[in-house]
Amino acid sequence: MAIATEQMESKAPISKEERLVIIASSVGTVFEWYDFYLYATLAPFFAALFFPKGNETAALLSAFAAYAAGFLVRPFGALVFGRIGDLIGRKYTFLVTILVMGISTFGVGLLPTFTAIGWAAPIIMVTLRLLQGLALGGEYGGAATYVAEHSGHDRRGYNTSWIQTTATVGFFMALAIIGGCRIWMSKEVFANCGWRIPFWFSIFLLAVSVWIRLKLHESPVFQKMKAEGKGSKAPLSDSFLKYPNNKYALLALLGATAGQGVVWYTGQFYALFFIQITLKVDFLTTYTLIGASLLLGTPFFIFFGWLSDKIGRLKIILAGCLIAALTYFPMFKALTHYVNPALEKFQNNCVIEVQADPKDETFNLFVGPWSKFSQVDRINDTLTKYGLNFTKKPPVPGKPVVTTIITNKGTTVLEGFNPDVEKGIKKALIEGGYPNLTPDGKPKDTDTSQINYGMTLLILFVFLIYVTMVYGPIAAFLVELFPTKIRYTSMSLPYHIGNGWFGGMLPLTATAIVALKGNIYYGLWYPVIVSLITVVVGGLFLKETKDRDISTYEH
Polymer length in residues for the chain: 555
**pLDDT on residue 486:** 82
- The CA dihedral of 68, 511, 269, 155, to the nearest 10 degrees, is -70
Distance (Å, whole) CA 313 – CA 469: 9
Q: Say if residues 267 and 527 touch (Cβ distance below 8 Å).
A: no
Single out the residue of 211, 214, 201, 205 nearest to residue 166, CA to CA: 205
Indicate whether this model's pTM tops 0.75.
Answer: yes
Element (DSSP H or E) covering residue 376: helix 375-385
Give the per-residue pLDDT at 118: 81
Output the CATH code of domain 343-445: 3.40.30
Quote the pLDDT of residue 342. 96
Question: What whole-number distance in Å separates Cα of residue 232 and Cα of residue 220?
Answer: 17
Nearest residue to 66 (alpha-carbon basis) of 132, 154, 117, 161:
132
Residue-level pLDDT at 554: 57
CA distance 338 to 512: 25
One fold for 17-339+449-541 and 343-445: no
What is the reported pLDDT for 15?
A: 63
The DSSP symbol for 416 reads S
- 207 to 90, 111, 211, 330, 389: CA distances (angstroms): 20, 21, 6, 45, 48
What is the C-alpha to C-alpha distance for residues 425 and 438, in angstroms, rounded to an integer?
A: 14
Tell me the Cα Rg of the chain.
Answer: 24
The whole-number mean pLDDT for each consecutive block of 10 residues of the chain, a chain of 555 residues, reads 40 64 75 72 73 65 70 82 75 80 86 84 84 80 76 83 83 84 84 86 84 73 69 72 86 96 92 93 90 91 95 97 98 97 95 93 67 85 91 93 93 94 94 94 93 98 97 92 82 85 84 88 96 98 88 57
* Nearest residue to 330 (alpha-carbon basis) of 527, 513, 521: 521
Torsion of CA 239, 243, 247, 252, to 10 degrees: -40
- How confident is the model at residue 555, as a pLDDT? 53
Question: Structural domain boundaries of the chain?
Answer: 17-339+449-541, 343-445
Sheet hosting strand 351-356, strand order edge to edge:
391-393, 351-356, 401-407, 410-415
Contacts of 229 (CB under 8 A, 6+ apart): none
Number of other residues whose CB lies within 10 A of the CB of residue 188: 8
Which three-class secondary structure state does DSSP give residue 304? helix
Of 474, 140, 170, the closest CA to residue 320 belongs to: 474
What's the pLDDT at 552? 59
Residue 464 corresponds to which amino acid?
A: L
Torsion sign (Cα): 46, 52, 56, 60: negative
Q: What are phi and psi of 340, to 5 degrees?
A: -135, 70
Superfamily covering domain 17-339+449-541: MFS general substrate transporter like domains (1.20.1250.20)
